[in-house]
Chain A
Amino acid sequence: MLWLQQLGQIGLRFVSRLGMSLVFLIHALYGAVRCLPRFSLVIQQLFSIGVLTMLIILVSGLFVGMVLGLQGYNQLVNFSAESSLGLVVALFLVRELGPVLSALLFAGRAGSALTAEIGLMKATEQLSAMEMMAVDPMKRVIGPRFVAGLIAVPLLAAMMSAVGVLGGYLIGHGQFGVDPGVYWTSMQNGVDFVDDILNGVIKSVVFGFIVTWVALFEGYDAIPTSEGVSRATTRTVVTSSLAVLGGDFILTALMFGGL
């Protein structure tokens, strides 16, 4: 009987957290709309979650592109199809790796920071203090971070794809001597603007939404102790990474067929 009760407890807790996060999402979206007139708040958040994440995205994008170039070339050369290297690298990056990896890195670099910041604000009762002063924390704290996350992630994903394509070019042309014209032409012939690039951007918008939502909710919902904040930070990274990967499967199946 005990294990049945425990199972029920877990189920109830899961459903109630899901409901709470949805209510939180509605409040956060409303706060995000209302914070737009004070755009300087959003810019501040764009700095701390966008600009500071840019470097890690650019560096990892370059390395991912170079690895794709190496692996792709070594396999394609067996079929003397190394002229398709540009296409392979670009499709991998634009469709999958750009949006997914940048969302995962964003969750680790910025999502965890968001959770810790808001959790600590809650633990030190800054949020309650704001409410006492009739400042709505949804509008002042949550809203700007939400908007900034939605803007930052698609831009970061685009940067990662672009830098990765350049990294693949560096390896393909510099190391293996693939003709530059062939590299870019195979890419331009095979990559479609709507099917590939636009779908990649849509993916990264969805991922930005998911990661920011999870991070803000975990912070807002954290138990206001140092242990609670640390646990919430861990949960942010785990939950948002899983949600991004699961969401990626669904989005890929919807966009490129299969379901």
Chain B
Amino acid sequence: MKQKTIEIWVGIFMMIGIAALMMLAFKVSGSAGGGGDVYRINARFENVGGLNEKAPVMIGGVRIGRVADIRIDKEDFSAVVGMDIDSKYDNLPSDTGASILTSGLLGAQFVGLDPGAEDLYLEKGDELEITQSAIQLESLISQFMFSQAGKGDNSGDDDN
């Protein structure tokens, strides 16, 4: 085969290969372009449940950032969640509250923010004051069981 045809074919090969890499980078991972500026805010929870790093941070179901790290405060043993918020959203009121929610009944957990009404905005390194821990299915179930058991006793008394 002539050198020119070979070179054209190799060109096509390289093009397809690079296009495939691009597709993996942008279409599949979708994060190569999203590595823009972020700022870090912290929130203190009693219990983070099954929250993972990289879990989304959402307001009203829209993703505005992600959980960057989860650690424990050595003084009072509360869980501190660091969140990287997209710097596009730099006008979160300083009395914003955070809660750990679950998408669906058994889905992945994420942090939901409820914007407050203050005029001051959250800045890098600020800590959210109003937080609500993850709902734990086990404790909910045990509460329900106890209350049911209590009810059962009461109704038994009534019958007698």
Q: Is B17 an interface residue (CB 8 A)?
A: yes
Interface string of B7-28 (1 = CB under 8 A from A): 1011011101111110111011
Whether B12 and A189, one on each chain, are in contact in the complex, defined by CB atoms closer than 8 angstroms, is: no
Query: Interface on chain A toward B: helix, strand, loop, or mixed SS?
Result: helix
B29-37, B115-123, B128-136, B148-156 - the one binding chain A:
B29-37
Which residues on the B side are within 8 Å of A156 (C-beta)?
A: 17
Q: Which residue of B lies closest to A53 (CB)?
A: B13
Q: Is A184 an interface residue (CB 8 A)?
A: yes
Interface string of B27-69 (1 = CB under 8 A from A): 1111110010000000000000000001010000000000000
Whether A159 and B20, one on each chain, are in contact in the complex, defined by CB atoms closer than 8 angstroms, is: yes
- State in angstroms the CA–CA spacing of A65 and B23 once bound together: 15
A26-34, A39-47, A125-133 - the one binding chain B:
A39-47
- State in angstroms the CA–CA spacing of A167 and B23 once bound together: 14
Query: Interface on chain B toward A: helix, strand, loop, or mixed SS?
Result: helix
Q: Is A3 an interface residue (CB 8 A)?
A: no
Whether B17 and A191, one on each chain, are in contact in the complex, defined by CB atoms closer than 8 angstroms, is: no
Q: Is B160 an interface residue (CB 8 A)?
A: no
Q: Which residue of A lies closest to B30 (CB)?
A: A188
Interface size class of B (residues with CB under 8 A): 20 to 34
Decide: A158 near B12, CB < 8 A? Known: A184-B27, A187-B30.
no
Q: Which of B17, B23, B27, B28 contacts A155 (CB 8 A)?
A: B17
Which A residues from 64 to 123 make CB contacts under 8 A with B? Answer: 90, 94
- State in angstroms the CA–CA spacing of A187 and B31 once bound together: 11
CB distance from B118 to the nearest CB of A (A): 31
Identify the A interface with B (CB < 8 A).
40, 43-44, 46-47, 50-51, 54, 90, 94, 152, 154-156, 158-159, 161-163, 165, 184, 187-189, 191-193, 196-197, 200-201
Whether B28 and A187, one on each chain, are in contact in the complex, defined by CB atoms closer than 8 angstroms, is: yes
Q: Which residue of B lies closest to A45 (CB)?
A: B10
Q: Which of B3, B10, B20 contacts A158 (CB 8 A)?
A: B20
CB distance from B13 to the nearest CB of A (A): 5
Which residues on the A side are within 8 Å of B141 (C-beta)?
A: none
Decide: A191 near B21, CB < 8 A? Known: A43-B10, A47-B10, A54-B13.
no
Q: Is B140 an interface residue (CB 8 A)?
A: no
14 contacts between A and B (CB under 8 A): A43-B6, A51-B9, A54-B13, A94-B28, A154-B17, A155-B13, A155-B16, A158-B21, A165-B23, A189-B30, A193-B31, A193-B32, A196-B29, A197-B28
Decide: A43 near B7, CB < 8 A? Known: A51-B13, A155-B17.
yes
Whether A155 and B21, one on each chain, are in contact in the complex, defined by CB atoms closer than 8 angstroms, is: yes
Whether A191 and B13, one on each chain, are in contact in the complex, defined by CB atoms closer than 8 angstroms, is: no
CB distance from B111 to the nearest CB of A (A): 14
CB distance from A56 to the nearest CB of B (A): 13
Whether B25 and A193, one on each chain, are in contact in the complex, defined by CB atoms closer than 8 angstroms, is: yes
